[in-house]
Chain A
Amino acid sequence: MELSILLPFIVNVIIGGLVLGFVYAIIALGYTMVYGVLQLINFAHSEVFITGAVVGFEVFRILQDSAMNGYLKLLIALLAAMAVSGLLNVLIERLAYRPLRGSPRLVPLITAIGVSLILQDTLRFLEGLQGRFDLTYTLPAGFGDKFCAAESTCAPVGNFLRTIGVDVQLKDVILVVVALVSLGALNYVVNRTRLGKAIRAVSQDRVTAGLMGIDSNLMISATFLIGGALGGVSGVLFGLKFGTINAYSGFDPGIIAFTAAVLGGIGSIPGAVLGGLLLGVIQNLIGVTNIFGNLLGLANLGTIDASYSKIGPFIVLVLILIFKPTGLLGKSNVEKV
């Protein structure tokens, strides 16, 4: 096989994986932050995230005919999704998790699964009332075009990218920019503000933090708010990337994002981002294993196709948990009695 075709192909698969990985990274942050403060896998986060996607869809649908600038529409969608998902997450914590603090660990975990199921059907029902099931994003004009197409002002950049074989759409670039901005904002909040300091204190030791005058319940709510808002952002980005979503489609990316959080080291924010990016690339690579095989002239790998890319993350998860349970960037912890 000619290297000149294979190389751009691999590059594009990896770039696609990175774009996907940014979505996973933002979802993973929601899991990892909640796990950090409560040691709970928030199964409902995948629905919080898909709620954001649905809100984004509604905003784009309502603003469909307005002459508003596409970026402004996106901003409105993002803000609305952040608000709804964040408040939803806070509400879930207040109603379902807080009464269960201090009970055996299995109890809040099962509750989280239940909340996730309830939200799935509620979302489906709400959209079903208007006769919809699959929600297809109506993107503002130009979002689906190639990045820096020939006639635009930044054509030289686009031309350069195309000569080296990189093929991205405008929405991919927007996605990465939005993701980076939210990561920056999160980093600022967690590491540079009093709120962030308090959240970190609570996640290290809730009791001692309480003794220092930190209202741990308030901080946990704040964590859920931030995690939910990030979920809302990732929902809109997910819708942007895949175009069509439904009430049940949060599950797969949710699991992958959780795997990403574990891969990076659960509780670690840079770890979640690293894990998300890695898993995005891994998933994309598994998806095209068959094409690789064909391109390299190997035997037909036939049965390894995109459906296996669903289970790839699980295999990764099993391997990490067996060999490096603390994840790539997590710190090791000795269990206390």
Chain B
Amino acid sequence: MTVASPVKPAVRRPLVKPDRTIWLVLFFIVTSVLLLISHETDIMRNLGPLGDVLRNKVVEALVVSLFLANVLFAYLWKAANWAKLLVGIGSLLFVLPLAGQADTSLLDLSIQIMIFAALALGLNIVVGLAGLLDLGYVAFFAVGAYTWSIFASPRFGEVLKYYGENSGTTGSGTLAIGLVLAAVTAGSMIYIRGLHGRVAPTRLSNLSFLLAGFGLLSGIILIGRSILVLFSGSADAVASGINPGFFWLFLALSVMTAALVGVLIGLPVLKLKGDYLAIITLGLGEVIRVLANNLGLYTAGSQGITPIGTASVPWFNSLVGALGFRPDQYYLMFLYVLVLIVIAVILLVNVRLDNSRIGRAWIAIRDDEIAAQAMGVPLMQTKLIAFATGASFAGVMGMIFAAKQTFISPESFNLLQSITVLSMVVLGGMGSFSGVILGAAVVTLLNLRILPGLGEASANVSWIPQEVNPANFNRFIFGSILVAMMLLRPEGLLPNKRRTRELHHEDDQEDESVDGNASGLNAGGDVYSAGLATTKEDDKTGGDR
């Protein structure tokens, strides 16, 4: 290849997409009618054999999937804007709640899909944008869930009672000591940090920073303990959990706690390279699960916490009541709308971040860490932001998940959940927001509707052995999704443009390479890195210095 004559880029004529407004509206109407009919028992009874077909679990799952495909088509197809708006708003705000009125499991399913979509969006920031494979992502989900569950359930009263009975010498004096300790250590940490900005840190100053950190930690523990003891008198008042009005405060708190845990987990491990990071995060995810299992006083161990309260908004209840919902459906409707709003916010945050300095820094780190560092991207800080942002999405959805299920146990947060979320991201396309949401919808539908539906259908067929029950094959299916996507279409179903080019760039360069050895040239670049970028280099590149 001569250098002088640049290869002419393949001219790709922009495909003129046919306008599909009519098809979109038609599809919307047909699927909406199908969905509504299949959930109206009265009409179904009059339909005779057709009703039987529609009542079949698999068919029902298909109808739901087709209906949800509306939103996807509205996003993908070229159509008039009014039609897109009509389909989007119509299906999410009118048809779905209407069908959910007849069958609450539909609302439940939609909430579940959106919760997982938010999780997938969060993991997408970590894995898809920043390129940090996190296999313990569900830990942040657990943190959010437990943050609310401990306080909004009888657990809190029991914790207070325990501290009241085992107060020891803790009292208001302890509170004072704790406050002083925390203030002094926090002050010195800020001072040392400020000093580090001006003079090079020494071993001694680093050590004292660490020491102050421990002091701060113990101060916070003392404060927490003394507050619990001081308030133990009101244990009876919160016997069934705190006032549900605190829901909104905890919505913010769960975001912050999860982000904080993200930073705390990230600090020690984010220096590690890809595969080490994967295994460490996997381990820390398990650590959080084991802790939830063993800290029986706070989490009720493997029995799980129940019942968990939800906020109740009187005006919203009367609104949906006026629309014909039964009182037992109020809270699901409330959560549905809440989740819709939260996911809209998350999506907005995602899009804005993607187009920001931070978003570009993430992608730079994903593509080449050392080059990014050389360009002045502060590695640690940028990775921590990715971790914290991803974690905060999981945190808020964890709380909503707890409120929806009214029951959580450590088993809701096992490794398989993390893998499930990962397969959503991989299926949809790493780095692509629409793809990730699609992945979440497909995997959740598979998990909650299609597999159980197939399982039920096959249970009645005598020649299929019970062990083949598709409902037990979710590991197999997620595994196949991961492998098949990686082998056949690593950019995902709805790929992100930049990512696609990155994953296929060898196709342009390596036409002449024979199967075996030449392909090693690529992998040879990072042979045998011991898993750690050097700390010293990292320190010198702070963006703000």
Query: B-contacting residues of A (Cβ < 8 Å)?
Result: 38-41, 96, 99-111, 113-122, 124-125, 128-129, 131, 205-207, 210-211, 215-217, 251, 255, 258-259, 262, 266-267, 303, 305, 307-308, 310-311, 313-315, 317-318, 321-322, 325-326, 330, 332-333, 335-337
Contact = CB atoms under 8 A, between A and B. Distances in A.
B142 interface: no
B478 A117 contact: yes
B531 A111 contact: no
A218 B525 CA distance: 21
Interface of B: 127, 131, 133, 135, 268-269, 271-272, 274-276, 278-280, 282-284, 286-287, 290, 293-295, 370-371, 415, 419, 422-423, 426, 465, 467-468, 472-473, 475-476, 478-483, 486-487, 490, 502-503, 506, 510, 515-517, 519-533
A40 B274 CA distance: 10
A216 B479 contact: no
Nearest to A203: B528
Contacts of B293: 307
Nearest to A131: B467
Nearest to B423: A114
Which A-B residue pairs are the 10 nearest by beta carbons?
A: A117-B479, A114-B482, A314-B283, A210-B517, A121-B476, A128-B467, A102-B522, A118-B479, A114-B483, A325-B532
Given A105-B274, A117-B475, A314 B268 contact: no
Q: Which of B295, B503, B520 has the most CB of A within 10 A?
A: B520
A100 B527 CA distance: 16
B532 A321 contact: yes
B294 A307 contact: yes
Contact of B530 (A129, A322, A330): A330
Contacts of B527: 39, 205-206, 336
A115 B517 CA distance: 25
Contacts of B294: 303, 305, 307-308
A313 B286 CA distance: 11
B528 A118 contact: no
Contact of B506 (A102, A117, A251): A102
Contacts of B521: 102, 207
A106 B290 contact: no
A41 B483 CA distance: 15
Nearest to B527: A39
Contacts of B282: 255
A106 B274 contact: yes
Contact of A216 (B419, B423, B516, B532): B516
A116 B282 CA distance: 14
Given A110-B422, A216-B520, A258-B279, A311 B479 contact: no
B529 to A, nearest CB: 4
B290 A308 contact: yes
B530 A326 contact: yes
A216 B516 CA distance: 7
A238 B526 CA distance: 35
Nearest to A102: B522
Given A110-B482, A321-B276, A101 B419 contact: no
Contacts of B473: 121, 125
Nearest to B510: A102
| Interface SS majority for chain B | helix
Nearest to B502: A104
Nearest to A108: B486
A213 B99 CA distance: 68
A144 B465 CA distance: 36
Q: Which of B294, B479, B502, B516 has the most CB of A within 10 A?
A: B479
A145 to B, nearest CB: 35
Contacts of A211: 517
A101 B467 CA distance: 36
A89 B323 CA distance: 60
A101 B519 CA distance: 7
A104 B482 contact: no
B275 A114 contact: no
Nearest to B537: A335
Contacts of B506: 102-103
Given A114-B478, A303-B294, A336-B525, A100 B275 contact: no
B483 A125 contact: no
A107 B486 CA distance: 6
A215 B465 CA distance: 46
Given A96-B483, A104-B502, A310-B290, A39 B528 contact: yes
A210 B520 contact: yes
A2 to B, nearest CB: 31
B487 A333 contact: no
Contact of B465 (A124, A129, A262, A313): A129
A113 B419 contact: yes
Contacts of B283: 255, 311, 313-314, 317-318
Given A100-B486, A102-B522, A217 B278 contact: no
A318 B476 contact: no
Contacts of A115: 479, 483
A109 B280 contact: no
Contacts of B280: 314, 317-318, 321
B276 A118 contact: no
Contacts of B519: 101-102
A321 B529 CA distance: 13
B520 A102 contact: yes
Contacts of A317: 279-280, 283
Contacts of B479: 113-121
A72 B468 CA distance: 36
29 contacts: A38-B523, A100-B486, A104-B502, A106-B133, A111-B487, A113-B135, A114-B423, A114-B478, A114-B483, A117-B475, A117-B476, A118-B475, A119-B479, A120-B475, A121-B472, A121-B473, A124-B472, A207-B524, A258-B279, A266-B530, A307-B294, A308-B294, A311-B287, A315-B287, A318-B283, A322-B271, A335-B530, A336-B527, A336-B529
B293 to A, nearest CB: 7
B482 A129 contact: no
Nearest to B529: A335
Given A101-B523, A111-B483, A318-B268, A106 B127 contact: yes
Contacts of A210: 516-517, 520
Given A110-B482, A111-B483, A311-B287, A332 B530 contact: yes
A64 B312 CA distance: 64
Contact of A337 (B279, B370, B510): B370
Nearest to B478: A117
Given A102-B519, A314-B284, A317-B283, 7 more contacts: A105-B274, A109-B133, A110-B422, A118-B476, A128-B467, A210-B516, A267-B528
A121 B286 contact: no
A325 B465 CA distance: 49
A110 B426 contact: yes
A318 B290 contact: no
Nearest to B293: A307
Contacts of A322: 268, 271
B482 A125 contact: no
Given A102-B506, A110-B426, A325 B275 contact: no
